[in-house]
Chain A
Amino acid sequence: MNRIKISEQFSDTPGGRYKRDGAYSGEEFREKYLKPKFDSLKEDETLLLDLDGAYGYPTSFLEEAFGGLARIYGIEKVLDKLKFKSDEEPSLIEEIKGYIKNAKS
């Protein structure tokens, strides 16, 4: 199972949008964790993003990480390949899917 638990593997206090804004930004997460994992997926594989354990997720972090990935690979492919788990804040999943769907290149 391809899985990233953000709070354990990256940070439990995700930051802002860009690396220049400070540590643990959405851009940093996308480049260091999300994109490499996404690139390594085989055709029939998916990647599970476990969102639990963090204090919360800023809008800018989520948009840059997931919307940014959709700008690189396309909306359909990202929606198809990424799965989300968020027991602690269930509405986050719809929020992230919204950023992916509205990602403009």
Chain B
Amino acid sequence: MQKAKTVLIFFLGLVVGFVVGVLTITIYYNKMTPTFWQFKAFDLISFIAYVVIGVYVAHHLKNRFSDRQMKKNMFVSVANDIEKLFEQELPCLHSFMKSNSNKEKIRVLTVLRKINNKIHILEDHKEVFTGISKHVMRVRDDYNRIKEIITGDEFDSPKLFTQTQINDMYKFTDKVILSLDEIKLNIFV
């Protein structure tokens, strides 16, 4: 489907270039000379130039379209990855907060780093699409809150996490997932 779209755009550009070339020459001849079919070298060059411009425009449009489409797909894929990571690792984060056990410390740090790096990818490309930036910023802010709750003052300390902190972790996780869904919806608008 995607390939068909890009091919269509390419040929559309080609046809537009060709039609513009033919029309321009027609108008020119109708005005300047009655012998329409007597092509001069200059006319031929003009015609070829128009076709070349048409091809160039078509090629440019196709590349631009493909590039944007690739970035959109990448955004959706990264957003899905982050959601999946949260879904898979929530039990581990929950269990760590319940026990504050050293055994799960490495896994918690690794998971948070993976999520952080995925968000960083979104941040790197957020300016390409209008309407996405604010959602990416929300994802970042809410992720920072999650990291702060889990690896803040209770991390590695004998103190246990409170139920409020655990609830907050879930609350901000929900907010991250909501913002990721907004990104996925808005990117194709």
Residues of B in contact (CB 8 Å), total 23
Instruction: Give the distance in Å from the alpha carbon of A22 to the alpha carbon of B113 in the complex.
Output: 22
Q: Which residues of chain A are within 8 angstroms of B119 by Cβ–Cβ distance? A: 91
Report the minimal beta-carbon distance from A2 to chain B, rounded to whole angstroms.
26
Stretch at the interface among B5-13, B37-45, B55-63, B146-154: B146-154
Instruction: Give the distance in Å from the alpha carbon of A77 to the alpha carbon of B108 in the complex.
Output: 33
Question: From residue 117 to 174 of chain B, which have CB atoms closer than 8 A to chain A?
Answer: 117, 119-120, 123, 144, 147-148, 151-158
Q: Which residues of chain B are within 8 angstroms of A20 by Cβ–Cβ distance? A: 157
Instruction: Give the distance in Å from the alpha carbon of A92 to the alpha carbon of B147 in the complex.
Output: 12
> Residues on B close to A: CB < 8 A?
105-106, 108-110, 112-113, 116-117, 119-120, 123, 144, 147-148, 151-158
Q: Which residues of chain B are within 8 angstroms of A15 by Cβ–Cβ distance? A: 155-156
Instruction: Give the distance in Å from the alpha carbon of A80 to the alpha carbon of B144 in the complex.
Output: 25
* CB-defined A-B contacts under 8 Å, sample of 22: A13-B105, A13-B106, A16-B155, A16-B156, A17-B155, A17-B157, A20-B157, A21-B155, A21-B156, A22-B156, A55-B109, A57-B151, A59-B147, A59-B151, A59-B155, A60-B151, A60-B156, A88-B113, A89-B113, A91-B119, A91-B123, A92-B116
Which residue, A16, A20, A22, has most C-beta atoms of chain B within 10 A? A16
Name the interface size band of chain A: 20 to 34
Question: From residue 55 to 88 of chain A, which have CB atoms closer than 8 A to chain B?
Answer: 55-61, 88
Report the minimal beta-carbon distance from B122 to chain A, rounded to whole angstroms.
11
Q: Which residues of chain B are within 8 angstroms of A17 by Cβ–Cβ distance? A: 153, 155, 157
**Given A22-B157, A91-B119: A60 and B152 within 8 A (CB)?**
yes
- Quick one: which of A55, A59, A61, A88 contacts B148, CB cutoff 8 A? A59
Q: Which residues of chain A are within 8 angstroms of B157 by Cβ–Cβ distance? A: 16-18, 20-22
Instruction: Give the distance in Å from the alpha carbon of A56 to the alpha carbon of B114 in the complex.
Output: 9
Q: Which residues of chain B are within 8 angstroms of A13 by Cβ–Cβ distance? A: 105-106, 109
